[in-house]
Structure 1
Amino acid sequence: MRLVWRDALALLFALRDPRTGLQARAWALVALAYAALPLDLLPDLTPLLGAADDLLIVPALLALATRSLPVPVQREAVARSQGLQRRLPWLVPAGLILTVVALAGAAWGLLRLLGGG
């Protein structure tokens, strides 16, 4: 999980770099949109497979974005990401906790909106 977090953080740093091309930005935007939008290849209500497509497609799209980065930008972004993780070892657990809380809040809000809570 630390490698995924490091790479996602590195991509975030790289996207802020003016040397990053349009292709990398587009792949990152597609990954974000796929993760955020309710439209999926497999509906999330499908047991196991619904979440599996998100767990496979989003990292694949992020990998495409990372491969589209210029090599110097990628190296600098990974170094910044590793440096931040060394200074803030609680970053990964805190990120996971915040993600779980955000998803739980979104699910609760959706249930209230639909009249089930």
Structure 2
Amino acid sequence: MSTVTFGRLRAAAKRIQHDALTVYFVARDSNTPIVVRLLALAIAAYAMSPIDLIPDFIPILGYLDDIILVPLGIVLVIKLTPSNVIEASRSKAAKVATKPISHVAAAVVIGTWLLCAAAFGYWVWEYGR
């Protein structure tokens, strides 16, 4: 893959990440209609969650949800949201995106997911027999 194509893919991924953060702020804005808020919350949670509808290890299909479902959901939320809310949410997302990344917070989130997976595995092991 050429460096130009890789650079374009990286820029597109960064844009989707920024838009997912914008959608999160749309979900938190009280001026957003309740149905759109719920949709925005679901899209933002799915986009930022490490758990996918179709696991990424499945060839081709694994990335389709990330390539198709998330951007379509983001576009739908942006189309249904008032323009003043979108502008305010984009500015909040831009401010948050410039803040440093917390590796401790990432470790806590990963640890929580692993703990939940272990608890579920234990539950299946004990009560699934």
TM-score, normalised via structure 1 length: 0.61
Q: What fraction of aligned residue pairs are identical, expressed as a percent?
A: 19
The residue correspondences of 1:1-117 to structure 2 (distance < 5 A) are 1-31=13-43, 47-48=58-59, 51-52=62-63, 54-55=65-66, 56-86=68-98, 88-90=99-101, 97-115=107-125
- Higher relative CO (Cα under 8 Å, sequence separation at least 6) belongs to 1
Q: Do 2:21 and 2:93's aligned partners in 1 also have CA atoms closer than 8 Å?
A: yes
CA drift at 1:112? 1.1
CA 1:105/1:9 → structure 2, altered by over 3 Å: closer, same or farther? same
Task: Give distance in 2, aligned partners of 1:83 and 1:29.
Answer: 20
> Higher Cα Rg: structure 1 or 2?
2
Q: Do 2:27 and 2:38's aligned partners in 1 also have CA atoms closer than 8 Å?
A: no
The number of aligned residues is 110
Q: Calculate the aligned-residue CA RMSD, in Å.
A: 3.7
TM-score, normalised via structure 2 length: 0.57
In the alignment, residue 82 of structure 1 is paired with which amino acid? A
Consecutive unaligned residues in structure 2, runs of 5 or more: 1-12
